[in-house]
Each structure stands twice: as C-alpha cells, then as structure tokens.
Amino acid sequence: MPMREQARLAIQAAHEAVAAAGKIVVLSGSGMSSESGIPTFRDAQTGLWARFDPMQLASAEGFRSDPRLVWDWYAERRAGVRAAVPNAGHLALARFALAHPGRMQIITQNVDDLHQRAGNPDVIRLHGDILQSRWLDPCRAQEQCDPATAEPERPPHCTQCGNLLRPAVVWFGERLPPEALTRAESLARQCDLMLVVGTSGTVYPAAGLASLARDAGARVIIVNPHASDLDDVAHQCLRGTAAAVLPLLFD
C-alpha cells in the first residue's frame, strides 16, 4: 500500500479514536512547542550553551555551582518563550477543549505557557513555570521576604537574607508538585484515550503516565516525527509533527 494511503488511514483511525473517546488526556513534551520556535529540551543546545549538558544546567547542584551561568541560561530561554506564539497544534487542542468542556485534559512536561496562551482553560504543569521565580532556599525571615523586592542581579538576591532567586521549574532530582502528579496519575488511569505528543519519553515520573493509561485500558497514540522511548507502550505512532497532525485529529 502506498505510504500516503497508509498515512491517511492512520490519521483516520486516530481521528475516529478521538471522536469515540469520552475522556481524553494529552501528555505533551517540548516537541509540542518546537514549531513555535522553542528548541526541544534535548536538541543540541545552540550557541553559548552547546558545551553544556541541559541535565546539569537544569539541576540544583548546577545552579548552586554556577548561579549566574544557570540564571543566564534560563533568562535566554524565558526570552524565547515570551517571543514564541502558540502553534496550530496548541490552537487545535484549545479549540477542542473549549468546545467540549471536561472531555480533554492537558498534562504538560513543558515549562512554557503556550497551551495556556492558546486558550486551554486548565493545564496540569508537571515541571513548573519558567516565567516564574521563587527563593532557592526557604526564607528564614519572620516576615517572608518578597521575591519581587530582590536585588536585580544575575541571579537576583535578597538584600535582607542573601537568598537567591531561581526559576520556578522542577529540576532533575527534585520532586514534582505532589498535587499535580496525583491528579495526572488519576486522570491517566481514568481516560479512554491518551495522546502522547512531542516527548522522547525519557523523563520520569512524567513518562510513566503513558503506561498507567495503557495498563488501565486506555488507547495510547503517539504524535512524534521520530521514534521515542514510549513507542512500545503505544497502540499507534503517528509519524508527524504536532502542528501538522493535531488539527487533523481535533478539527
């Protein structure tokens, strides 16, 4: 069978799975934002960052060993997020979520805000928010020092107690927000269909949500132009990009 016909039938089968599903969960990774111009997490770091391992930079020890370097890496990524706009994939998901309240839940590993800016009313963020900052250590002052008053250095620090500001993301070796993870696990166990979009499936416990869904009887469909570590968990792998494929499934 010609490839084009195979691809058409695959999209048709996935479209039918979406139409038939009462409860849909979308688990997204950085590939979801790739067509908005935000580099994926494991793409070779560009320019200055090419010689650094993102796993090292995205860690508390990496930050403590060189706060300015890591702060600058996040500052550059923040600027990229602010300059980016939601792509056709984000918009297709948001349109569906708004047209079918309560039928689809986004669970994202991403730290950008593109699902939210596309209009999704309720996004579960497993790895935090790159645009927010919080204190590196618990504030010991009687009156909690206000992060907004931090001295604008790289990184900003507290003039009262010397605490540093850090990005409000979950670093490697840090616990995911318990309420977000618990809610995500519960939704994964209850859904009829899980779409896994733009993730290599290498980071846990987030990647484990696909197996939770599969083991609970959900259909699992991957949208990714390349192979991923979750391919053997999926019933179907659509070899295409988020912005090209998702509008075909949801519009």
**In whole angstroms, how far apart are CA 49 and each of 36, 52, 127?**
20, 5, 21
Minimum CB distance to ligand BV8, residue 32 (Å): 6
Our CB check for ligand BV8 shows the closer of 42 and 160 to be 42
Amino acid identity, position 40 = T
Residue 216: which of 195, 189, 240 has the closest Cα? 189
Pick from 207, 167, 203: nearest CA to 184 = 207
For the bound state, the minimum distance from the C-beta of residue 28 to ligand BV8, rounded and expressed in Å, comes to 8
Q: Cα 191 to the chain's mean position, in Å?
A: 19
Q: Which residues bind ligand BV8 (CB under 6 A)?
A: 29-31, 34-35, 40-42, 58, 109-111, 127, 169-175, 198-200, 202-205, 223-226, 228, 241-242
| Nearest distance from C-beta of residue 30 to ligand BV8, angstroms | 4
* Residue keyed to tokens 């600027």: 79
Distance CA 241, CA 89 (A): 9
State the Cα–Cα distance between residues 116 and 114, nearest whole angstrom: 5
- DSSP-derived pairing of the beta strands 104-108 and 24-28: parallel
Q: Which of 90, 115, 127, 157 is catalytic?
A: 127
Chain residue at closest Cβ approach to ligand BV8: 31
Least distance (Å) between residue 31 CB and ligand BV8: 2
Q: Based on CB atoms, which residue is closest to ligand BV8, 163 or 228?
A: 228
Residue 235 known to be catalytic: no
Q: Which is nearer to ligand BV8, 89 or 156 (CB)?
A: 89
- In angstroms, what is the minimal distance from the CB of 101 to ligand BV8? 26
Q: Which is nearer to ligand BV8, 151 or 197 (CB)?
A: 197
Instruction: Name the token pair of 53.
Output: 């391992």
Instruction: For ligand BV8, give the closer residue by CB, 122 or 174.
Output: 174
**In this structure, what token pair is assigned to residue 188?**
């994964």
In whole angstroms, give the CA distance from residue 5 to residue 154.
54
**What amino acid positions are annotated as catalytic residues?**
127
